[in-house]
Amino acid sequence: MSLLAVDNLRVTFPSDQGPVEVVRGLSFALGRERLGIVGESGSGKSMTGRAIMGLIGAPGRVTADRLEFEGRDLRNLPEWEFRKLRGARMSMVLQDPKFSLNPVIRIGDQIAEALEFHTQLSASARRVRVLEALEAVRIDDPERVARLYPHEVSGGMGQRVMIAMMVVMEPALMIADEPTSALDVSVRGQVLDIMDDLVRRRGMGLLLISHDLNMVARWCDRILVMYRGQIVEELGAGALNTAQHPYTLGLLASLPKLNEERATLPILDRAALDGFMAGAAR
Amino acid sequence: MIDVRNLTVRYGDTTVLHGVSLAVAEGESFALVGESGSGKSTILKALVGQVDDWQGQMTLAGHALQPGRRADLARQVQMVFQDPYGSLHPRRTVDDTLAEPLAIHGIKGRDARVLAMLDAVGLPRRFRFRLPHQLSGGQRQRVAIARALMLEPRVLLLDEPTSALDVSVQAEILNLLKGLRAEKGLTFLLVTHDLPVVSFLCDRLAVLRAGRVEEAAAVATLRAAGLRSAYGRELLERSGLV
Amino acid sequence: MSAHEMNLRDWLTSDDPETRMQARLGQGFRLARALARNPLAMVGLVVIVALLLIAAFAPWLAPFSPTEGVLANRLQPPSATHWMGTDELGRDILSRVIHGTRITLMIVVLVAVIAAPLGLIMGAVAGYFGGWVDRLLMGFTDIFLSLPRLILALAFVAALGPGIENAVIAIAITAWPVYARIARAEVLTFRNAEFIAAVQMQGASSWRIIGLHVIPLCLSSTIVRVTLDMAGIILTAAGLGFLGLGAQPPLPEWGAMISRGRSFILDQWWVATMPGFAIVIVSLGFCLFGDGLRDVLDPKQRSKG
């Protein structure tokens, strides 16, 4: 049974010009695997993650023919039930740890907060779990880090703390929205490795949302390429070279490469692309 | 064109730059590569007078710079910032933003110059009276580049000009910058952490780490993956891997 | 007719205005449209417009003289001839309330014209330069802020002598520090923004940056605050009038009218209550309109428009 099943997911926001669909009929299934969603800003990739987490508030509207997590229908789930699910069974890592951590609460206490909310563990048992979680994200001296405030740690460390916060509840599904784009290249690898390790060892499902085609390609089992709220192409691991859709090809071509000399970079022809999409839809 | 010798910058007790030296010839495109905290952006800030206290010598377009004094080099050097959302005044139209440098320097022919510049950076003329929130990230960055070029400077400082943009938009902006450099004979000093961008846009690069220049090399060396310094190799490896 | 209207609307809301004029008008139209969607703000606007109209046409609207009464008619309850009754000198209270709008409006406008720009400039300069300029200006501001407003105004009026002009000056002097504080806080949020660095690099003088780039960004929060403060200003003016330090008799200032009516509050309630109603309605009008303005002028809200 798949962990997450999504069928014909639609997210709509009202605007002056009438309702605007930012996610237009998305369907996919996620098992205990690493699935990447790639797209540019405005493709609806982040809205997809938020819709699954039940984080799209009014005036946005989420509809789907099917939206199931661990066999449970998420459509019209009341907010208090969603709250029990979020953080415990499914959790989300966001782009910038600076904005996701509360600056005036010690790191250890912030991680313990989820345990306090979702479990009946005693304070000392919570503490053990917090230190374990920090160790799991390869923090060498968890005791010291747990006592620090968020501003006292670096960006890479902050992101690891965020991940520790997510895994402390041992969720079945982790949604990571651009988890590394605020980080330096040298720490990106570490953070991805840690997430990879957790997914494999604990058998979690991971939805990695990113704009970075190459990173996702190297790192996920499957990739969904999104454009204008739709999936335009699904690719297997490391199979970027088999991409067929003009959008994927256009993206790949427009990336500068280290070992070649081009006078100009080819530019994505959006008009032709929209023509192609309209033709494909018919 | 740009000559920096022994530049040392301290913020309080921490030294951000330890005696950095680099020289950029006229018409050259030079990249400063390094991670956040390596001091690469501080060099740009020092060059445009946004750092008050520094030691060493800096010469820009033949003018020696003095610490604590903002030299009037607006017509020699301008800068393009990383964040296209924070670098445009939210209440001023594209027209206001582009005309401001002309007004400051008492340059006539506002309408013609603004329209010509819109054409040069590939922005449709109908965008002239839009506010920043009516523009996409790429369009904003074009406005920022247009603003920097209004005074026809010889040097353009580029602080991660494409890292906040989508890949397909990045290609458009990189093409635009490359074209403008060829057309106007500009000198570029580019700060980035993205080695492929350096390979596309630059002639030479310097690798910075913890406020020191680790290595300076021609871009051909970079393309052949021939950086020698330990940190240079590390960057190469990681750009390839991640 | 209808087609013409649609064209004008499209022209105003066009994303691609062709002239500077069209762009400015379009921005104004969007603001007005957003404001029109807020019913409470519209109620506030109606009150303010009514105040303006009544003040403009006071001599024609008022059925009697505001200053001359018929002693035989003193302290008449509200009736068909005297809708709000008469006061202790036999003057028609409705006529006095109508003429009082002029005084209220004058106070409000003068205070806004004096206090808002003063506070805005002080705050913008302090926030932009920072360092010792900031400490000096804000220290000065804090001295004013730390004194209770009405007491400070009282002290000024006592020193300058009672009278409507001195009351206005006193209120303005006590009102500006708030605007300075707000403007400074606002400036600090974008003081280090790149668009400020960009104009500095273009060689703009500090005064040009403050005047053309910094102050316009603080303007909307100041306008909102001034509108919300109008109620307080009217009340302070009325308070001074009540204490006999504001408008002097026989001027029909609302606060002073309440003060005179106080002696008869139990038996002739209308003498004090009618001008009280006027104060409440006008204050509320400014408050509602200010709230609506805040929603519209908030830049975060605006990006959606």
Tokens standing for residue A192: 């991805």
Contact B101 C213 (CB under 8 A): no
Cβ contacts of A59 within 8 Å, gap of 6 or more: A13, A14
Name the nearest CA neighbour of A55 among A11, A3, A97: A11
- Strand runs labelled E in chain A: 4-13, 20-30, 34-38, 61-63, 66-69, 72-73, 90-93, 173-177, 205-210, 222-227, 230-236
Q: The domain at B25-51+69-76+153-242 falls in which architecture? A: 3-Layer(aba) Sandwich (3.40)
**Contact (Cβ atoms closer than 8 angstroms) between residue C199 and residue C209:** yes
**Contact (Cβ atoms closer than 8 angstroms) between residue B168 and residue C49:** no
- Confidence band, pLDDT 50/70/90 cuts, at residue A207: very high
**Contact (Cβ atoms closer than 8 angstroms) between residue B120 and residue B176:** no
| B40–chain C nearest CA distance, Å | 17
Tokens standing for residue B135: 């523009």
Nearest residue of chain B to residue C219 (CA atoms): B91
Residue C217 has φ and ψ, to the nearest 5°, of: -75, -25
The pLDDT assigned to B241 comes to 46
Q: Residue B100: enclosing H or E segment and its boundaries?
A: helix B94-104
Strands A205-210 and A34-38, how do they pair?
parallel
Cβ contacts of B136 within 8 Å, gap of 6 or more: B169
DSSP label at C248? P
Is residue A27 classed as helix, strand or coil in its secondary structure? strand
Is residue B129 classed as helix, strand or coil in its secondary structure? coil
Tokens standing for residue C235: 């009340």
B72: amino acid identity, one letter? D
Contact A256 B174 (CB under 8 A): yes
Name the nearest CA neighbour of C113 among C171, C163, C156: C171
The pLDDT assigned to C303 comes to 39
The pLDDT assigned to B99 comes to 95
Note the ipTM here: 0.89
Q: Where are the alpha helices (DSSP H) in chain C?
A: 2-13, 20-36, 39-56, 58-61, 93-129, 131-145, 149-160, 164-190, 194-201, 206-208, 215-242, 254-261, 270-297, 299-302
Contact C22 B131 (CB under 8 A): no
The pLDDT assigned to C2 comes to 52
Residue C6 Cα to chain centre, angstroms? 35
Q: How many residues are given for chain A?
A: 282
Peptide bond into C250 cis (omega under 30): yes
> For the whole model, what pTM was predicted?
0.84
- Confidence band, pLDDT 50/70/90 cuts, at residue A195: confident
Nearest residue of chain B to residue A264 (CA atoms): B175
CB of A155 within 8 Å of a chain B CB? The answer is yes
The pLDDT assigned to C5 comes to 60
For the stretch C199-245, pLDDT in tens is 998 888 999 999 999 999 998 888 888 888 887 888 888 888 888 88
Of chain B residues 7-66, which have a CB less than 8 A from chain A? 35-36
Interface of B with C (CB under 8 A): 48-50, 70, 72, 74-75, 77-79, 81, 83, 86-93, 95, 100-101, 104-105, 126-127, 129-131, 133-134, 144, 147-148, 151
Report the alpha-carbon angle C262-C263-C267, nearest 5. 95
Tokens standing for residue C16: 């691609």
| Helices and strands in chain A: count of H runs, count of E runs | 11, 11
DSSP label at A86? B
- Output the CA torsion C295→C299→C304→C305 (10° steps): 70
Nearest residue of chain B to residue A156 (CA atoms): B36
**Contact (Cβ atoms closer than 8 angstroms) between residue C187 and residue C138:** no
Report the alpha-carbon angle B99-B73-B132, nearest 5. 30
CB of C209 within 8 Å of a chain B CB? The answer is no
- Output the CA torsion C271→C275→C276→C280 (10° steps): 160
- Confidence band, pLDDT 50/70/90 cuts, at residue A40: confident
The pLDDT assigned to B71 comes to 62
**Residue C57: beta bridge partners?**
none
Q: At what angle do helices C20-36 and C39-56 cross, to 10 degrees?
A: 110
The pLDDT assigned to B121 comes to 93
DSSP state letters, A87-150: TTTEEEE-S-HHHHS-TTS-HHHHHHHHHHHH----HHHHHHHHHHHHHHTT-S-HHHHHHS-G
DSSP label at A68? E
Peptide bond into B161 cis (omega under 30): no
DSSP state letters, A206-222: EEEEES-HHHHHHH-SE
CB of B197 within 8 Å of a chain A CB? The answer is yes
Is residue C191 classed as helix, strand or coil in its secondary structure? coil
DSSP label at B171? H
- What percent of chain A has pLDDT above 70? 99
Nearest residue of chain B to residue C216 (CA atoms): B91
The pLDDT assigned to B229 comes to 87
**Contact (Cβ atoms closer than 8 angstroms) between residue B149 and residue B141:** no
Rounded Cα gap, residues A39 and A55, in angstroms: 20
**Contact (Cβ atoms closer than 8 angstroms) between residue B98 and residue B125:** no
Strands B204-209 and B29-33, how do they pair?
parallel
**Contact (Cβ atoms closer than 8 angstroms) between residue C157 and residue C245:** yes
Q: For chain C, how far is it from start to end, CA to CA, in angstroms?
A: 27
CB of A268 within 8 Å of a chain B CB? The answer is yes
Encode burial over C265-283: b for 16+ CB neighbours within 10 A, e otherwise: eeebebbbbbbbebbeebb
DSSP state letters, C72-129: GGTTPPS-SSSTT-B-TT--BHHHHHHHHHHHHHHHHHHHHHHHHHHHHHHHHHHHHH
For the stretch A212-271, pLDDT in tens is 888 888 888 999 999 989 999 999 877 888 888 999 998 888 888 887 778 888 888 888
Residues of chain B with CATH 3.40.50.300: 25-51+69-76+153-242
**Residue A158 burial (CB < 10 Å; 0-12/13-18/19+)?**
buried
Residue B201 has φ and ψ, to the nearest 5°, of: -105, -15
Residue A203 has φ and ψ, to the nearest 5°, of: 65, 40
The pLDDT assigned to B218 comes to 92
Top residue of A192, A247, A249, A265 to mutate, by most chain B CBs within 10 Å, is A265
User: How many CB atoms lie under 10 A from the CB of residue C121?
Assistant: 19
Per-residue pLDDT of chain B (242 residues; tens, 9 = 90+): 899 999 999 888 888 899 999 999 999 999 999 887 788 889 998 888 888 888 999 998 888 888 766 667 888 999 999 888 889 998 899 999 999 999 999 999 999 999 999 999 999 998 999 889 888 889 999 999 999 999 999 999 999 999 888 888 999 999 999 999 999 999 999 999 888 899 999 999 999 988 899 999 999 988 888 888 888 888 888 766 44
**Residue B173 burial (CB < 10 Å; 0-12/13-18/19+)?**
buried
pLDDT > 50? residue A275: yes
Name the nearest CA neighbour of A186 among C241, B241, B202: B241
The residues of chain C scoring below 70 in pLDDT are 1-6, 298-305
Tokens standing for residue A237: 């691991």
Rounded Cα gap, residues C292 and C295, in angstroms: 5
DSSP state letters, B146-165: HHHHTT--SEEEEESTTTTS
**Residue A11: beta bridge partners?**
A23, A62
Residues of chain A contacting residue B166, judged by C-beta atoms under 8 Å apart: 40-41, 211
The pLDDT assigned to A91 comes to 87
Q: Residues C13, C15, C18, C20: is their CA dihedral positive or negative? A: positive
Rounded Cα gap, residues C196 and C80, in angstroms: 64
Alpha-carbon distances, residue C147 vs A179, C151, C153, C172 (angstroms): 51, 7, 10, 14
Name the nearest CA neighbour of B227 among B212, B237, B217: B217
Residue A24 Cα to chain centre, angstroms? 19
